[in-house]
A and B are shown apart, each in its own frame.
Chain A
Amino acid sequence: MNTSALITMGITQILVTFFMVYFFVKVLRAPKQAEPDSYSENDED
């Protein structure tokens, strides 16, 4: 592979993967709201 392709691919794929993981982890770690939300209403289903 040539260097410029390797750099473009590396930077793009690392950035996209980083943001995907970052936002997904942020979702998992987001504090749950005190009141029941639209998901927990369905917890018993």
Chain B
Amino acid sequence: MAKAESSGWGSRVGLILAMAGNAVGLGNFLRFPVQAVENGGGAFIIPYLVCFLLMGIPLLWVEWASGRFGGIRGNHSTPFIFDSMNKKRVWKYIGVFGIFTNIAVASYYCYIESWTMSYVYHSVIGTFDGMSQQQVSDFFSSYTDIGVSTTGIPYEAVVFYLLCLLLNTWILSKGLGGVEKVAKIGVPMLLIFGAFLAIKGLTLGTSGASAEIPDANALDGINFLWTPQFSSLLDLKVWLAAAGQIFFTLSLGMGTIHCYASYLKQKDDIALNSLSAGFTNEFVEVVLGSLIVVPIAAGYLGLDWVINNAGFGMAFQTMPFLFEKWGEFIGTISGVFWFGLLFFAGITSSLAMGTPWMGFMQDEFGWGRKKGAWTFGLIVLILGLPTVFFFKEGVFDEYDYWAGTVSLVVFAMAEIILFAWVFGITKGWDEINAGADVKLPKIYKPILKYVTPTILLIVFLGAFITPKDNDWKKAITEGWVLDNGSVLAKITNSDIVVNKEFYSDHKEYDQASGIVDTIIHDKENKVHILKVQDNIRFYRNEKGVVKEAKKEAILKNIGKNYVFFDSVAVCREYKFKWDNKITVQKGDVLKLGSTIATGEFTNKSLYTSIGRFLLLGLFLFICFLVWRAGRLKEHL
């Protein structure tokens, strides 16, 4: 079918910045340092770099080469890019993942992006001025609670989500030119903002120490991130985490790289372009990403706090509080820079997610780019609103798990088999080297054929049967108990242990332990509030590492390797409707599954099932479109 509108990249630098912008995302600043902290600090960097060389770079070449190969045959989305590489129908339908993943991920990714927009606004108007750490953290909870407004704007989170989605759709409607312009502005801005904050992190030292935390030192954070611990190299968990991080950071297995590369011609280089885009992403992650969150947090709250609290939420629940310590002016500037860089990192990625759908509809059904962009926005809106309205009920996490994690690995495993084994490594290697401005080492030919698929297979199996607490050694020696995060546990719903039914006449306590602290009957708002307190005890070993008392291995060694360090009271709040009845009393000791209220309840399991149903519906809808497009091609 004839193209509705021709398009292409304006310049080679524009293409590289767009590709780098696609790869650089929120994960570069949030996921990478957290993964490093959770996987032994300096030990993590070695497997990370090995996986970059053996899996990241080869997959980049595969995706660029496949995209260009399909593009010169008139295909700009993975179903028909794969079809042009092999005519067996199965590949066309595996290619559906390359559109499905993007739409599904965009629907919740735009929500995170909208938080960064909103937080830039709040940094400018001084919302966080004078707030305590707890208040900044509570602000985020209030923000994601749709019924509460933090600015006076009703449904603020929804308004910012709509604004963000509209902006994305409008830019997409301008075609590749619009995407390229945003990348040319966004990537340099992101580098400038990131460099400013990284220098602050690197030079903070002990200046953030306080009477409460006298040993706080930013250099402790850097030390922890970079001190190599070679013993961890034998831990499979660390390798799987490193391979997973390479995956997410380079935006592999999504179909966006294929789509961007499909606008190249046979004589255009891909070998050098992909290396340039890939290393730009690595620079942002390894150089800038490692010098912001962890050192700044360690500089004010201490390394122990970072080890125990490292997570995605730090970006929104902790950083604004820390920036305030730099004074009003620098604090505001830092807040704008931090959330600004996250916004640019986000939008350059979310724009990439819109292009496969547009390319597909343009190629197969002759749609114009405006129609393609606005329908993308509409589908994302339909799928995304449940993540906004039912964020706390787990729809967001469900999308992230199936579309943002599992689909990527499945798709990448299929594409490497197609490229190296079905399409053929000889033909594939020639395709990568066609028009190359750099001579590639021949060692990568066997790596592409044997090593990369093996790593991907291990990553896939690792995700499928992840043992409890990711403790592989224990699983092998003492018997296999699945982790709740494993694919197998998710498929069989064995990760849901309480409140299993969609609707129930009683509510079960969903934590391991706790003591009822407060019960409030709020007549004005017609809600019952139950607050449950749980004391978590922390222990420290000679390396200064603090762990929760719940870990069995530590409990066994208390008095030997670990000594009591601190305890913290965690308070969990449950809200019930006025016609429900709280069945516990102050001082009651709760266990997992204890009944805490009776009445009529809609449980989280309903919302996660709705999330799965929507994702499945989207996948089948795209399969239908691919089938229809195939029929149209046959009749031409």
Contact flag A23-B9 (CB < 8 Å), given A8-B42, A12-B286: no
In the complex, chain B residues 1-43 whose Cβ is within 8 Å of any chain A Cβ: 8-16, 42
Tell me the bound Cα distance from A4 to B222 in angstroms. 11
A4 to chain B, nearest CB (A): 6
* Interface size of B in residues (CB-CB distance below 8 Å): 39
Residue B272 CB within 8 A of the other chain? yes
- Chain B, interface SS category: helix
In the complex, chain A residues 1-18 whose Cβ is within 8 Å of any chain B Cβ: 1-2, 4-6, 8-9, 12-13, 16-17
Contact flag A24-B8 (CB < 8 Å), given A5-B223, A12-B286, A37-B268: no
- A-B CB contacts (within 8 Å), total count: 99
In the complex, chain B residues 414-440 whose Cβ is within 8 Å of any chain A Cβ: 437-438
Mark A1-44 against chain B: 1 for CB-CB distance below 8 A, else 0.
11011101100110011011001101110100101011101110
Residue B283 CB within 8 A of the other chain? yes
Q: What are the residues of chain A within 8 A of B113 when measuring CB–CB?
A: none
Q: Which of B274-282, B533-541, B623-631 contacts A (4 or more CB under 8 A)?
A: B274-282
Inter-chain contact A39/B8, CB cutoff 8 Å: yes
Inter-chain contact A38/B263, CB cutoff 8 Å: yes
Inter-chain contact A27/B16, CB cutoff 8 Å: yes
Inter-chain contact A30/B272, CB cutoff 8 Å: yes
Contact flag A9-B10 (CB < 8 Å), given A20-B282, A30-B269, A37-B265: no
Inter-chain contact A13/B287, CB cutoff 8 Å: yes
Q: What are the residues of chain A within 8 A of B264 when measuring CB–CB?
A: 38
B210 to chain A, nearest CB (A): 22
Inter-chain contact B226/A5, CB cutoff 8 Å: yes
Contact flag A9-B438 (CB < 8 Å), given A27-B273, A38-B265: no
Enumerate chain A interface residues (CB-CB to B < 8 A): 1-2, 4-6, 8-9, 12-13, 16-17, 19-20, 23-24, 26-28, 30, 33, 35, 37-39, 41-43, 45
Enumerate chain B interface residues (CB-CB to A < 8 A): 8-16, 42, 45, 49, 177, 219, 222-223, 225-228, 263-265, 267-269, 272-273, 275-276, 279-280, 282-283, 286-287, 290, 437-438
Q: Could you write out 25 A-B pairs with CB less than 8 Å apart?
A: A1-B219, A1-B223, A2-B223, A4-B228, A5-B42, A5-B222, A6-B226, A8-B228, A9-B290, A13-B287, A16-B287, A19-B275, A20-B276, A20-B280, A23-B279, A24-B276, A24-B279, A27-B437, A30-B12, A38-B9, A39-B8, A39-B10, A42-B8, A42-B9, A42-B177
